[in-house]
């Protein structure tokens, strides 16, 4: 079943923070995060493999709560370059590289 992402869309001013959530009705083995800028290919951001794991990439970080079957992506002091659609992906049926992606969260950062 497809992970649910929230919010569906968010508009920010430069310098503001945002949180994107990804929830699954099934147990999560890992969570992948990708960003797709308009007209471009999705680009890998990070993978979280263990419950409680947190990772960071520049001012973008993520956490993984295995018990709650959810992950959150944190964008701090957002920049114009953060605009795009963010997708979470979770493995289908456990430890496999076949992912099922959420429907995406559109993030627009304005000057």
Partner 1 sequence: DVKVTQSSRYLVKRTGEKVFLECVQDMDHENMFWYRQDPGLGLRLIYFSYDVKMKEKGDIPEGYSVSREKKERFSLILESASTNQTSMYLCASSSLGRADQPQHFGDGTRLSIL
- Distance, in Å, from the CA atom of 28 to the CA atom of 77, rounded to the nearest integer, reads 29
Q: Judged by CB, which is closer to partner 1: 84, or 104?
A: 104
CA angle 16, 17, 22 (to 5 degrees): 150
Q: Judged by CB, which is closer to partner 1: 15, or 52?
A: 52
How long, in residues, is the chain? 111
CB of 102 to partner 1, least distance (A): 6
- Distance, in Å, from the CA atom of 67 to the CA atom of 77, rounded to the nearest integer, reads 29
CB of 95 to partner 1, least distance (A): 4
CB of 18 to partner 1, least distance (A): 19
Instruction: Please report, to the nearest 10 degrees, the dihedral formed by the alpha carbons of residues 66, 72, 49, 29 taken in order.
Output: 50
Q: Judged by CB, which is closer to partner 1: 8, or 77?
A: 8
* Sites of contact with partner 1 (CB under 8 A): 2, 29-30, 32, 34, 40-44, 47, 49, 87, 89, 91, 94-104
CB of 7 to partner 1, least distance (A): 14
Q: Judged by CB, which is closer to partner 1: 82, or 87?
A: 87
- Distance, in Å, from the CA atom of 11 to the CA atom of 80, rounded to the nearest integer, reads 11
């Amino acid at each position: 079943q497809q992970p649910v992402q929230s919010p569906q869309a968010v508009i920010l001013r430069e310098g503001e923070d945002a949180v994107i959530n990804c929830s699954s009705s099934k147990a999560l083995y890992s969570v992948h995060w990708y960003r797709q800028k308009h007209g471009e290919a999705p680009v890998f951001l990070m993978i979280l493999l263990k419950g409680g794991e947190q990772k960071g990439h520049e001012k973008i970080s993520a956490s993984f709560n295995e018990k709650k079957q959810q992950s959150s992506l944190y964008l701090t002091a957002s920049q114009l370059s953060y605009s795009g659609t963010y997708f979470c992906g979770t493995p289908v049926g456990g430890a496999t590289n076949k992912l099922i992606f959420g429907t995406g969260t559109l993030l627009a950062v304005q000057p």
